[in-house]
Amino acid sequence: MKKKQKSNDLNGSGRQGLEGLIRRSAKKHGTPLMLISREVLKKQYQRFRRSLPNVMPFYAIKANPHPEIIKTFIKLGVGFDVASGAEMDLVLNLGASPDKVIFANTIKSNEDIARAHKRKVKLMTFDNEPELYKIAKHCPRAKVLVRIKVDNTGSAVELSLKFGADADQAIFLLKKARSLGLQPVGVAFHVGSQCTNLNNYLRALDVSSLIFSEAEKVGLPLTILDIGGGFPIRHFDNDDHLTFKDMAGAIRKKMRRLFDKNTNFIAEPGRFFVGSSGTLITQVVGRTFRNNKNYYYLNDGVYADFSGIVFDHCRYEFKTLRRGQKFLTTLAGPTCDSFDTISLNEDLPELEVGNVVYVKNIGAYSCASAVPAFNGFPPAKVLMV
Ligand SMILES: *Cc1c(COP(=O)(O)O)cnc(C)c1O
């Protein structure tokens, strides 16, 4: 018999089920409250594995480093992408195996590189020559992947402005790595976050395969291709960009065509693994009428769980538990700063103080980049459901 749909599957339980859960949780735990669904975390992992069965995922914990999320992924056998000594300690102390960790910041402090050595994290990325000297000194014999700069066109968050060697430098850098006693094992790239432009991936695979062939010719056979993160989720119910499944199908096909079947493919999904697991519940703490609009002041804002508006260039779909006629509305956060405006123009029903405003698909780059308590307003409590 088919298992009954669990109520903690935030996306699968329908609007009624979700709103019931929101009412109960807000009443019991107060707001702001971030619900994270373990069921959705698991589903996203399974979706990834189903569509890219030959790619080993290393969850990029910067998207959301909550320990319960990390533990859930450890149980599923997922690896981790960490960017600092502190992130490395976090996943290792929770029980991740060091050979399932990639230190994927191309710029690392000497102390953090030494930390990787001490904790037996051997796989790391780099994109410049000075970094190689640091790695050779503080983590001798490390396995290194050269991160190359690739097209980030159309991605919500640009990453190639700051990172990635020019592709034509890759062979020189890999040779240099070897001459310093390191193990040059492959190539890494990142197409930019929330990438809905499939061509970014396809072109990056083309460029990477050229580097693989060239490396083979100069006696540096490469074994690992790291296709990074960037896999998109739906932030709005009616988003109609390419789905992950369609993109993954094309990526897989191209990989099969361009690379030896013994190549080890890895990826660093962040948003795709946690974004849709999170639902944020806020409440109206004040209301007024200004500029011919309803103004609702929520108990969470841009300094806390809506920080993704600033850092992630993200837009969200705001929902309420009320029905009825909608009016032009501005939503603002609770701090004494006009910058703490969440959205200028929403269509929302009339709300009273105490009413709920909630947002789905806000599990990534939200609490992770929140300030602890600007103006005395702490970010949402996290509740695993
Ligand atoms: C941020 C980041 C990721 C995760 O990116 P998503 O777009 O969230 O999948 C992966 N790898 C590196 C190096 C990153 O900086």
Pocket test for ligand 1, best of 187, 190, 201, 227 (most atoms within 8 A of CB): 190
Q: Characterize the bridge pairing of strands 55-60 and 326-332.
A: unpaired
> For residue 159, what pLDDT is reported?
79
CATH 2.40.37.10 residue ranges of the chain are 276-384
Q: Which of 139, 195, 314, 336 is catalytic?
A: 336
> CB of 259 within 8 A of CB of 186?
no
Terminal-to-terminal C-alpha distance of the chain: 24
Interior angle at CA 317, CA 5 and CA 250, nearest 5: 70
Closest by Cα among 315, 320, 324, 323 to 287? 320
> CB of 15 within 8 A of CB of 23?
no
Pocket test for ligand 1, best of 159, 226, 227 (most atoms within 8 A of CB): 159
Question: Out of 3.40.50.1000, 3.40.30.10, 3.20.20.10, 3.40.50.10490, which CATH number does the structure's domain 38-275 have?
Answer: 3.20.20.10
Chain centroid offset of residue 117 CA: 26
CATH classification (class only), 276-384:
mainly beta
Which pair of structure tokens corresponds to residue 226? Answer: 């790291």
> For residue 11, what pLDDT is reported?
62
> CB of 320 within 8 A of CB of 351?
yes
Closest by Cα among 174, 235, 198 to 363? 235
Torsion angles phi and psi, residue 81, rounded to 5 = -100, 120
The reported pTM is: 0.96
Ligand 1 atom with minimal separation from the 269 CA: 9
The segments of the chain whose pLDDT lies below 70 read 1-13
Spacing, Cα 60 to ligand 1 middle (Å): 6
Tens digits of residue pLDDT in 113-168:
999 999 999 999 999 999 999 999 999 999 999 999 999 888 888 877 899 999 99
CATH 3.20.20.10 residue ranges of the chain are 38-275
Protein residues whose CB sits closer than 6 Å to any atom of ligand 1: 60, 62-63, 81, 104, 159, 190, 193, 228-231, 268-272
Question: Using the 8-state DSSP alphabet, how is residue 319 labeled?
Answer: E
314 is catalytic: no
Which pair of structure tokens corresponds to residue 61? Answer: 């914990």
> For residue 384, what pLDDT is reported?
98
